């Protein structure tokens, strides 16, 4: 018996009643969508909507009429024509949220990106000589000023920096690393894997919780090129723990003619405020301790664009810059423009940096302004819910909470914050359902946390006043949608 014959007659009738593509194309919402989004998107939306309709009917759902289908197709066209990479509202309180693009840029950095993006630029043009210049110089001068390093090099991200330093200085040679520092940073970056890709040979020493200077000393052979120290960005070993300081390691390395390389990960340029409280060392401190090469990310604690920054002696940097991999790892002009503009804020002074760079600003957010902001968000949400006549479906409350730095940075730091807690009281709603709808329904997804069946909007990471409105209308829509089900 075929599939068709085994179906109840009414299901077969409903399937037969589904309008044809040309009929749907003649419906006004679909014609309008075709004008906005183009024929390709409309065809894709019709096919997908008709597939969904057939599946629904086969599992017993009633058929929708032509008008309902046309409206659903219009909505689908709208969703399909939104960019997949688009702005989102971060209401999680996680400041350096890797899934949400890590560091938001300072206004000056945004301006610099726009200026360079809209036309030609001096990317590789030296205005002093009217001749070809190098893209290497752009952020390098400011990095030298800020860190005291002899020279600097920018690549695509810190993973690229680690790869390049190892390839340029330790390919075919041995690199000594403590077992306590064989770090995995989220998203498949593991020190042993990068090491293998660079052609360097990993020599592990010590144990997970304790490594001594003698462990390093005993591992040195004629094939050793480098000692690598990796900042445990995203974890801390507490209790019975010992590691060797950069100063001691540099003495040992230099005694044997080896390089000491520190992968600093988070990349703090300043050592005040929350960074100092967390015991985070600024990049310049490593260089003062006679570390030969330091690398870090541009978009973690530094608060600029996705980049990897390599700092060191002129000789060390020159070898990285002339390595064939450099061409594959070099940053684009937009990255460099944002980085240079952000570094300029640091050069202006610590106060300017803390005020203008969103990551630093959010990390140092004080409780009183956060509480005021949470009350503002509470009121706007309440107004939107009242407009939608669904304020009785949830309970709203301003509550204390904890935000985290994120991005695998400052893992032990907890930042006291204020949140608006939304507790569903209508049986048709659930916190998880609302959280899901807040991401799925609006053009600008609003990302929240759920705790104890409450949706939490942490105001620490709401950057703009418009973010409050987006949270409020997205929640009102999510509640309404939930009540309709």
Ligand X SMILES: *Cc1c(COP(=O)(O)O)cnc(C)c1O
Binding site for ligand X (CB under 6 A): 157-159, 162, 183, 185, 189, 230-231, 233, 263, 265-266, 297, 308, 408
User: In terms of CB distance, is 26 or 197 closer to ligand X?
Assistant: 197
Closest to ligand X by CB, 204 or 371: 204
Give the nearest distance from C-beta 335 to ligand X in angstroms: 12
| C-alpha dist (Å) from residue 395 to 91, 188, 392, 479 | 18, 41, 7, 12
Residue with tokens 């100092």: 276
Measured distance CA(134)–CA(293) in Å, rounded: 21
Shortest distance (Å) from residue 184 CB to ligand X: 9
Residue placing its CB nearer to ligand X in the complex, 157 or 404: 157
Q: Do the strands 224-230 and 174-178 form a parallel or antiparallel pair, or are they unpaired?
A: parallel
CB of 205 to ligand X, least distance (A): 18
| Orientation angle between helical segments 333-348 and 137-147, nearest 10 degrees | 30
Report the length, in residues, of the chain: 485
CB of 303 vs ligand X, minimal distance in Å? 13
The residue written with tokens 């390389």 in the block is: 261
Q: How far is CA 310 from the centre of its chain?
A: 21
Shortest Cβ 177–ligand X spacing (Å): 12
159 vs 270 by CB, closer to ligand X: 159
Nearer residue to ligand X within complex by CB, 325 or 396: 325
Reading the block at residue 73, the tokens are 């197709």
* Pick 297 or 454: Cβ nearer ligand X: 297
User: Residues near 43 by Cβ (< 8 Å), separated by ≥ 6?
Assistant: none
- 297 versus 417: smaller Cβ distance to ligand X: 297
- Answer for the pair 220, 258: CB distance below 8 angstroms, yes or no: yes
Residue 266 beta carbon to ligand X: minimum distance, rounded to whole angstroms: 6
Nearer to ligand X, 284 or 297 (CB): 297
> How near is the Cβ of 409 to ligand X at its closest, in Å?
7
The residue of the chain with the least Cβ separation from ligand X equals 265
In whole angstroms, how close is the CB of 189 to ligand X at the nearest point? 5
CB of residue 422 to ligand X, shortest distance in Å: 33
DSSP for residue 455: E
Task: Report DSSP state, residue 97.
Answer: B
Q: Report the interhelical angle of 191-198 vs 158-170 (nearest 10°).
A: 50
**How many Å apart are CA 297 and CA 129, to the nearest integer?**
32
Q: How far is CA 215 from the centre of its chain?
A: 37
Nearer to ligand X, 182 or 439 (CB): 182
Taking the complex as a whole, how short is the minimal distance between the CB of residue 90 and ligand X, in angstroms?
Answer: 18
Residue 309 has phi, psi (to 5 degrees) of: -115, 125
- How far apart are the C-alpha atoms of 297 and 96, rounded to whole Å? 12
Distance between start and end Cα atoms, the chain: 37
CB of 168 to ligand X, least distance (A): 17
The C-alpha atoms of residue 335 and residue 127 are separated, in whole angstroms, by 21
For ligand X, the closer CB: 159 or 195 = 159
To ligand X, the closest distance from the beta carbon of 361 in angstroms equals 21
293-297 vs 308-312, strand pairing mode: antiparallel
CA pair distance 211, 219, nearest whole angstrom: 12
Nearest to 258, CA basis, from 153, 163, 170: 170
Residue 100 DSSP symbol = G
Q: Which is nearer to ligand X, 164 or 225 (CB)?
A: 164
Tokens of 387: 């407009």
Q: For residues 125 and 189, which CB has a smaller minimum distance to ligand X in the complex?
A: 189
Angle between helices 39-58 and 28-37 (to 10 degrees): 130
């Amino acid at each position: 018996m075929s599939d068709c014959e085994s179906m109840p007659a009414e299901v077969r009738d409903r399937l037969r009643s589904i309008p044809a593509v040309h009929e749907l194309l003649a419906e006004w919402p679909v014609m309008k969508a075709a004008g906005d989004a183009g024929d390709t998107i409309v065809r894709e939306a019709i096919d997908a909507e008709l597939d969904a309709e057939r599946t629904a009917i086969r599992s017993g759902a009633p058929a929708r009429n032509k008008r309902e289908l046309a409206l659903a197709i219009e909505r689908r066209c709208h969703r399909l024509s939104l960019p997949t990479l688009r702005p989102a509202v971060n209401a999680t309180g996680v400041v350096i949220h890797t899934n949400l693009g890590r560091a938001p840029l300072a206004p000056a950095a945004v301006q610099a990106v726009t200026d360079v993006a809209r036309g030609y630029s001096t990317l590789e043009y030296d205005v002093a000589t009217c001749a070809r210049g190098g893209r290497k110089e752009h952020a390098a001068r400011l990095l030298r000023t800020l860190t005291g390093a002899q020279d600097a090099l920018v690549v695509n991200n810190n993973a690229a920096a680690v790869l390049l330093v190892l390839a340029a200085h330790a390919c075919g040679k041995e690199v000594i690393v403590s077992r306590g520092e064989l770090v995995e940073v989220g998203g498949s970056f593991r020190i042993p894997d990068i090491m293998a890709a660079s052609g360097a040979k990993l020599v592990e020493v010590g144990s997970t919780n304790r490594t001594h200077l003698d462990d390093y000393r005993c591992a040195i052979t004629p094939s050793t090129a480098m000692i690598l120290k990796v900042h445990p960005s995203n974890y801390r070993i507490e209790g019975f723990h010992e590691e060797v300081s950069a100063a001691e390691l540099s003495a040992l390395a230099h005694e044997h003619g080896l390089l000491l390389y520190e992968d600093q990960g988070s990349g703090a340029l300043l050592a005040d405020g929350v960074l100092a409280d967390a015991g985070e060392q600024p990049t310049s401190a490593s260089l003062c301790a006679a570390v030969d090469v330091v690398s870090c990310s541009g978009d973690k604690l530094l608060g600029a664009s996705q980049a990897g920054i390599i700092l060191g002696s002129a000789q060390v940097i020159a070898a990285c810059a002339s390595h064939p991999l450099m061409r594959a790892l070099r940053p684009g002009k937009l990255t460099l423009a944002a980085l240079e503009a952000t570094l300029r804020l640091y050069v202006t002074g610590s106060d300017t940096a803390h005020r203008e760079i969103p990551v630093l600003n959010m990390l140092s957010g004080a409780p009183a302004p956060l509480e005021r902001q949470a009350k503002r968000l509470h009121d706007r949400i309440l107004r939107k819910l009242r407009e939608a006549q669904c304020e009785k479906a949830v309970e709203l409350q301003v509550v204390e909470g904890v935000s985290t730095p994120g991005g695998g940075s400052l893992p032990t730091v907890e930042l006291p914050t204020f949140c608006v807690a939304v507790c569903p009281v209508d049986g048709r709603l659930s916190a998880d359902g609302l959280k899901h709808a807040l991401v799925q329904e609006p053009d600008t997804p609003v990302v929240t946390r759920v705790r104890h069946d409450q949706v939490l909007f942490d105001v620490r990471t709401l950057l703009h006043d418009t973010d409050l409105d987006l949270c409020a209308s997205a929640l009102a829509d999510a509640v309404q949608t939930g009540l309709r089900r």
